[in-house]
Amino acid sequence: MALFAMRTLGVATGMPRHGRGFQTEAMNEFEFTVPILIVGGGACGAVAALAAHDAGISPLIIEQDARPMGTTSMSQGLFCAAGTRSQAEHGVHDDGATFLADIMAKTKGQTDPVIARAIAFGSGPTLEWLQDRHAMPWALDTGFRPAYGNSTFRVHGWQGHGGKDMIELLHQRLAEAGIDVLTQARLTEIIAGSDGRVRGVVIERPGGVQERVGCETLVIASGGFAANHEMVARFMPEAAQARYNGWEGNRGDGIVLGEKLGAAIADMGSYQGYAMLTEPQGISVPPGAIIEGGIIVNIHGKRFVDESFDIAGMAHPVMAQPGDHCWVIIDAGIEEACAYIPEMRDLIALKAARQADSVEALAGMLGLDAATLAAELAEARAAQAAGTPDRFGRVWGEDLPPAPPFRAFKVVGAIYHTQGGLQIDGQARVLRPDGSALPNVFAGGGAARGVSGPSSWGYLPAMGLCAAVTLGRIAGETAAQQLGGTPVVGMPSA
C-alpha cells in the first residue's frame, strides 16, 4: 500500500521562515527560526504538529531518520480512548472518569494523577478530532475485549492495519496540511537563556554537519530510551539483560537534553515489556491470543502464571523460566478469532505455529512432558467449566482453554518501550524539580513521564500510543496557544 506521501525537507539552510515573523535578538544566531519546533516524527510529534497547525500556528518537525517511522511503526497501532462515539455505537459505556479509575487501579495509585487525568479525559476528544478533521480511520477494536486492567472495550485502531500504516497515514495528513518535516536532522543540543527559555537547537545533519535552528517554543516528542543500554541498566537493572524489541533510535536524547535544561524526570524505571515475542520470527503474538483463551507454558509444559493478568509485566515470569523460551499454546479457533490482526496474519503466512491434533503429538513436537501439559489443560478446562479461578487466579469466564487442533508459538520475553521521562503537567508543559514550568518547552509520548507507574507492572494495554497521541495533541495545542493560537480541542472538562 502506497500510503507514504511525506512532505520532507532535505536541507535547512535557506528555508522560509514560518509563522508570524518572530524576530528575537537571537535570530542572527540561527539559520532560520520557527514558532514551534517539534523533535521527533513519531505519533506524538505528528499529532502535535497537526494540533499546532489546526490552532493556527505552523510548526516544523525535525526527525533524525531519513524516513520517520519510530516505535510507532513497530506497534500494533492500537490505543485507548474513552467516551468515544465509536464506543457508543457499539453500546459501550465509558468515560474519562472510568478510564482514570482504571489507570489508578492498574498503577496501584503510583502514577501522576494530573497526567493521568489529562490523558483519561483527553483521549476521546483527541481521537474524534483526528477522525473529524484529519480523516483518521480509527474505530473501536471490538476484538480487543476488556483485559489486563481495562475494565471495558476501550482499545481503538484501524482495523487490519498496524503501526506502520498509522505513521504513514499521519505523515500523509501532515503533507496535506502543508506541515514541513525536516528529515536526517538529529537534535544534539538545546540552546536556552539563563531564564530557561529555549531559543533554539543544534541539529546534526548527514556528514556530521551542524546547523542551528531557532524556535519560539519546543515540543520534545523524541520517544523513550529503551535502546540506550546505559540508561536501561541505570534505571531498570532488572531489564538490562532482556531482549530489546523496540526502535533503535530510542536513545533518550530528548529526555537527557531536557534534564540538562533543568527539567525533572520521573518514573524512569517504568517500561512496557512483552512476554510473547516469537522466536525466531521476532513478531509479537497479539494479546488477543491470551484474551481468547491461550495459555503459556515453560519448557517442561507447566503453566506458571495467570497469563491474562498483566500484559507488560508478564515478560518477567516468562524470562524467569528455565531454558531460554516458553510456548504460547492456542487452538485453531483462537487463531481464527485473531486472524484480523496484522501480526497474526504475518505469523500465519510465515507458518510460525507448530500444529498438532492431540496433546501427545503437540508435546512430542515441542519436547514437553505430555502428562504435564495434559494436566495443565485439564485443570484450566475444569476451572472454566466450574466458573472458579484456576490455581493462578485466572478467571476463564466464557473463554475456553485450547483444545485440538492446537497451535504453539515459541516465545521469549522482551522489553519494548520505556514509560518514564520528562515530568510534565496536564498541559504537557515540562516541569522543573520544584514544580515550576519551563517557559516554552512541552513534551509527550515516550519522552515524557507516562501513566504506567514506577515499574513494569502498571502498563495498561494500548497506553503507549494513547499517551503519544493524547499528549502530542495537548503539547501542540499548548505551544500554539502560548503564541496566540486557538486550540481546537482544548482541555476537556473533567
Ligand X SMILES: Cc1cc2nc3c(=O)[nH]c(=O)nc-3n(C[C@H](O)[C@H](O)[C@H](O)COP(=O)(O)OP(=O)(O)OC[C@H]3O[C@@H](n4cnc5c(N)ncnc54)[C@H](O)[C@@H]3O)c2cc1C
Count residues near ligand X (CB under 6 A): 44
Q: Is 13 exposed, middle or buried (0-12, 13-18, 19+ CB in 10 A)?
A: exposed
The interface region with ligand X, picked from 63-71, 136-144, 299-307, 484-492 by CB under 6 A, is: 63-71
| 449, 450, 455, 460 alpha-carbon torsion, rounded to 10° | 180
Residue 96 interacts with ligand X (CB under 6 A): yes or no:
no
Asked if omega into 237 is within 30° of 0 (cis), the reply is no
DSSP string, 383-428: HHHHTS--TT----TTPPPP-SSEEEEEEEEEEEEE--EE-B-TT-
Binding test (CB under 6 A) with ligand X, winner from 19, 35, 40, 96: 40
Per DSSP bridges, beta strands 180-182 and 8-9 are: parallel
Judged by CB under 6 A, the chain residues 390 through 419 that form the site for ligand X are: 416-417
Cell numbers standing for residue 100: 482514570
Q: What are phi and psi of 402, to 5 degrees?
A: -60, 145
Question: Which helix (H) or strand (E) segment is 86 a member of?
Answer: helix 85-89
Q: How far apart are CA 81 and CA 96, in angstroms?
A: 9
Instruction: Find the binding residues for ligand X in span 416-435 (CB under 6 A).
Output: 416-417
State in angstroms the smallest separation of the CB of 230 from ligand X.
16
Stretch that binds ligand X, among 12-20, 170-178, 249-257, 312-320 (CB under 6 A): 249-257
CB of 460 to ligand X, least distance (A): 9
Q: Strand 437-443 vs strand 429-431: parallel, antiparallel, or unpaired?
A: antiparallel
Residue 63 as a binder of ligand X (CB under 6 A): the answer is yes
Asked whether position 253 contacts ligand X by CB under 6 A, the answer is: yes
Q: Is 356 in the site for ligand X (CB under 6 A)?
A: no
Distance between CA atoms of 213 and 232, rounded to whole angstroms?
30
Residues 6+ apart with CB under 8 A from 477: 51, 52, 55, 485, 487, 488, 489, 490
How far apart (Å, rounded) are the C-alpha atoms in residues 96 and 444? 19
Backbone angles phi, psi at 116, to 5 degrees: -60, -40
Q: Is 19 in the site for ligand X (CB under 6 A)?
A: no
- Among 457, 485, 472, which Cα is nearest to 219's? 472
- Choose between 362 and 460: whose C-beta lies nearer to ligand X: 460
- Chain Cα centroid distance, residue 314: 17
Cell representation of residue 491: 482541555
Q: Is 99 in the site for ligand X (CB under 6 A)?
A: no
Is 305 near ligand X (CB under 6 A)? no
Stretch that binds ligand X, among 189-197, 263-271, 377-385, 461-469 (CB under 6 A): 461-469
Q: Does 466 participate in binding ligand X (rule CB under 6 A)? A: yes
Which residue lies nearer to ligand X by CB, 191 or 221?
221
- Does the protein bind ligand X through residue 6 (CB under 6 A)? no
Task: Figure out which of the listed residues 6, 36, 38, 43 binds ligand X, where binding follows CB under 6 A.
Answer: 43
Could you tell me the smallest distance in angstroms from the CB atom of residue 219 to ligand X?
11
Instruction: Restricting to residues 437-456, name those near ligand X by CB under 6 A.
Output: 445-446
| Binding piece for ligand X, criterion CB under 6 A, among 37-45, 132-140, 297-305, 398-406 | 37-45
Judged by CB under 6 A, does residue 249 bind ligand X?
A: yes
Using an 8 Å Cβ cutoff, are 295 and 379 in contact? no
Per the structure block, which three cell numbers stand in for 249?
Answer: 533510535
Contact by Cβ (8 Å): 24, 46:
no
Least Å distance, CB 473 to ligand X, is 12
Q: CB of 57: closest distance to ligand X in angstroms?
A: 20
Q: Can residue 126 be called a binding residue for ligand X (CB under 6 A)?
A: no
The single residue among 83, 143, 223, 421 that binds ligand X, judged by CB under 6 A, is 223
CB of residue 188 to ligand X, shortest distance in Å: 7
Q: Which residues sit at the interface with ligand X, rule CB under 6 A?
A: 39-45, 62-65, 68, 70-72, 74-79, 186-187, 221-223, 245-247, 249-250, 253, 272, 284, 416-417, 445-446, 462-466, 468
